[in-house]
A = this chain, B = another copy of it.
Amino acid sequence: MKEELIKEIISDIKARSERAGLPVPVGVSNRHTHFTREHFKRLFGPECEPTLYRNIVQPGFYACHETVSIQTEKNAFKNVRMIGPYRTYTQIEISYGDAKVLGLNPPIRDSSKIENSPGIKIVGPKGEITVEKGVILSKRHIHFSPSDAKKFKIEDQQVVRVLCSPGSDRETIYESVLCRVSDKFALEFHLDIEEANAAGLKNGDKVYII
C-alpha cells in the first residue's frame, strides 16, 4: 500500500516534470463575435454568407471578412470581427477593459455558457439586432487534441497552472487554467489581449504547464 502511494507520487512528479518541458503555443483573442445563422442574416442580409478572412489555429474555424459594431448607451466598438462558422448561439467575447468602456459587467465564462450574461446592440451593414444575452469575458483555457493530451498526460477538464515569459520582466503564472480535450482541437493556450499583454505574450509564443 505504502509502496503503491510512493509509486503514484513519483509517477505524478515525473509527469509534471516532463510536461513542464513541453511548449504550448499561445493564441491571443481580440474582441470578436460568433453568430447564429439567423442573426447573421439579419445583420448582413439574406443572400450573404460568412467569407474567409484567414484561418485560425483551431481546425475549421476562421476569422471572417464580416465585421459589426457593438453598441451600448455608453459607448461602441466598430469593426468587431466574426469568427466562423455559424454557431447555435450568438456570443460576443470582449476584454475586461472593453467591458468598462461599454459600461457592461459580463461574467468570466467558458465559450457557450452565456446564461445570465448581458445583452448588447449589434449593428451590421444590412440591419441591427439587440441580443438579450451573450456578452462574456472568455475564461483562459488550453485546447488539446487527444494525441497532445496523451503526450502532456492531461485529462479533459483538468485545471493547471501556466508559466508565461519566464525570465522576463513580465514573468507571470496564470492559475486555474482549464484544459479541454477534443478531436476538433489543436494545441493552443487561449487568453485575451489584456492577459497576453500583462504576461508579455503574443500569438505563437510558447508557455509551459508547471
Contact = CB atoms under 8 A, between A and B. Distances in A.
Interface of A: 95-97, 108, 139, 168-176, 193-195, 197-200
Interface of A (DSSP majority class): mixed
Could you say which of A173, A175, A194, A198 has the most chain B C-beta atoms within 10 Å of its C-beta? A198
Contacts of A170: 108, 176
A67 B169 CA distance: 29
Contact of A139 (B95, B96, B169): B169
Given A172-B175, A174-B172, A194 B97 contact: yes
Nearest to A165: B175
B108 A169 contact: yes
23 contacts: A96-B197, A96-B200, A97-B97, A97-B193, A97-B194, A108-B169, A108-B170, A168-B176, A170-B176, A171-B174, A171-B175, A171-B176, A172-B173, A172-B175, A172-B198, A173-B173, A173-B175, A194-B194, A194-B198, A195-B197, A197-B198, A198-B198, A198-B199
